[in-house]
Amino acid sequence: MKKIFLILLVIISSFPIAFSVQAEGASLYLSPASGTFFVGSTFDISIFVNTGGENINAVEINLKFDPTKLQVASPTAGKSFIEVWVSQPTFSNTKGQMSFIGGLPSPGIKTSAGLVSTITLRAISPGKTSILFLDSSKVLRNDPEGTNILTSMGRGVYTLLIPPPEGPKVFSPTHPDQNKWYKNNNPTISWEREEGVTDFSFSFDQDPAGFPDNTPEGEHTSVSFSDVGGGMWYFHVKARKAKVWGGMSHYLVRIDTTPPAVFTPTVEPSPKTTERQPLVSFITTDALSGMDYYQLKYIDITPERKEEISGFFTEVSSPYKLPSLEIGKYLVIVRAYDIAGNWREGKAEIQIFPEGIFLTKRGIQFREITLPWWIVFVILLVILLLVLLYFSKRYRDLLRRERGELDGIEKKLGKEKEKLIIERVKREARKKEIEREKEILRKMRLERDELERKLRELSEKKKILELKKAQLFEKKIRLEQTLDGIKKKENQIETGKAIEEKEKFARLPGEKQKIEKMRWEIEDKRREIEKERWHLEDEKNEIESQIKEIDLKYQRILEEKNNLKEKTKEIDQALKSMTEISNFNTL
């Protein structure tokens, strides 16, 4: 709905906007605002807006009604100042809602009685009912912000009645008031008979617009029904006179035989309390006639006292503060009555305790906890036995302590002897441990010396590889210089194009032969140079391959050297630790 309303604002805002001075605010109202209508009939209500001196360009109107009393028969917009409807007026006869959203271009409208729409409603059941504007309704000023200026909303209050009888006059000795609920579900309906009437036809149902058929029911003027269900029932009757059926009369019977819903009163601060005047709260509902009032009484059910008669029930409202109660147990009974006179009881037990600990005939009591006297005597007896056991144990402990002191002296002498023996054994074991640690140190030093020897060997190999690599680099440089010289020679050799130029200018046969011989000599010389260049390049590639191989060996030596250094470091740390332990054991 909000999204639709925003779309309308965009449409309306596309027109030129006229600004206005702020006034008191807009209002919505219904016309007629009240009235009396018969069940089954239709009537119209109109929705008006008073802009309060402002120019407005959009409205959103949401109405709420009782769907058990009214139904929308025709929600058409009809005549209205609205020029742009976002959608046709919508309604729900199930939820009891209607909605109108529309507007008009700038400059909008300024009016005290702008007709938005006229709605046709149908009355479906008797009683009072209202039609209300919901808080989501809006009246928007013709300004860039679309300000909502709605400040007041009226309401419609309508009385719906059973149509006056067009046939026989109907009355009921059991349910005389059509606006009152009764718990008697065996109604008796009577009606008057005019002179000349030969037959009657009647029906009894829950349809306010129901009607009897044309089958005669006889001449009697009274009928009774039994075990009728709860709700609103309608009796319809018509008379036949001179073989012509007359108009109908309707009579409403309201029956409610069901008591209010089950409920349990609650007690504050709690059902077991030291508060002498606790607060009792209660509430329930009734499906048909509705709740009327509550009654309350309380009964003293303390076992030590006789049950006191609390008197009659007293009409009260929730929450109800009880009068000051004595210490003891009480039963609180609340009766909830509906309008038809049905009632249901809710009960709650309350126990009032004194503050602190006190003595009773039954025993010692603290709040809801009672300790019987026989348990108190048992506890005292147990305490006495525990005291006797305690002193008996202390005496036995004293004797045991003196005997233990003598035994302790003997044990002390024996322990001193054992201590000396153990000390000697420990000394021998420590001596062996020191020897074993020295042997481990010796082996570790030997292993370290071996690692240092391998490191020296690797250093020698490293130097040899570095020297060999330097020699190969020197040889490679010489080969590159030789190759550069060969390339210069190739460049100095006369090219075939120069020979062809000489052939063009040769006229004598001897000159041409000489030039041809020169060409072959140049080709032979080029082949020799190329052969020498290829040989040198092969030698260069061989040197580069040897250099790569030396680099790989050099890398392996470095890795092995690093591993040996790590091992040497580990052995040095282990030697340091072992030396410290050995020195400590020696001390």
- What string of pLDDT tens digits covers the 587 residues of the chain? 444 444 444 444 443 333 333 446 899 999 999 999 988 888 999 999 999 998 998 999 999 999 989 999 876 545 788 888 776 778 889 999 999 898 888 888 999 988 988 888 999 888 899 999 999 999 999 888 889 999 999 999 999 987 776 789 999 999 999 889 999 999 999 999 888 888 999 999 998 888 899 899 888 899 999 999 999 999 999 998 878 888 889 999 999 999 999 999 999 988 888 888 899 999 999 888 889 999 999 888 887 776 555 567 888 998 999 988 888 889 999 999 999 999 999 999 998 887 766 566 666 666 556 678 788 888 889 999 999 988 888 888 888 888 888 777 878 877 887 888 888 888 888 888 878 877 887 887 787 788 788 778 878 877 887 888 788 888 778 887 887 877 777 676 655 556 666 666 655 667 767 777 777 777 777 777 778 778 877 877 888 888 888 888 888 888 887 887 888 888 778 777 777 766 665 55
In CATH, what number does 170-255 get? 2.60.40.10
Residue showing tokens 């009809």: 78
Q: Is the CB of residue 259 less than 8 Å from the CB of residue 338?
A: yes
Architecture of domain 266-355: Sandwich (2.60)
Nearest to 349 by CA among 298, 411, 414: 298
Neighbours of 231 (CB within 10 A): 12
φ/ψ of residue 34, rounded to 5: -155, 165
All CATH 2.60.40.680 domain ranges in the chain, comma separated: 2-161
CB burial class (10 A; 0-12, 13-18, 19+) of residue 522? Answer: middle
> Number of H helices and number of E strands within the chain?
4, 31
Q: Which of 348, 370, 375 is nearest to 359 (CA)?
A: 370
Bridge partner list, 128: 159
63 backbone φψ class: left, alpha, beta (φ>0; ψ -120 to 50): beta
Residues of the chain with CATH 1.10.287: 437-586
Which residue reads 């441990």 in tokens?
433
The 10 Å Cβ neighbour count of residue 5 is 18
What CATH number does domain 2-161 carry, 2.60.40.680, 2.40.40.20, 2.60.15.10, 3.40.50.300? 2.60.40.680
| C-alpha pair distances (Å), 578 with each of 426, 565, 567, 570 | 20, 20, 16, 12
> Phi, psi at residue 6, to the nearest 5°?
-65, -40
pTM metric for this prediction? 0.45
Site of tokens 């949401």: 62
Asked if 72 and 98 touch (Cβ cutoff 8 Å), the reply is yes
323 prior amide bond cis, ω within 30: no
Domain 437-586, CATH number (from 1.20.272, 1.10.287, 1.10.260, 3.40.1620): 1.10.287
Looking at the chain, the domain(s) classified CATH 2.60.40.10 span 170-255, 266-355
Residue that has been written with the tokens 């718990």 in this structure: 183
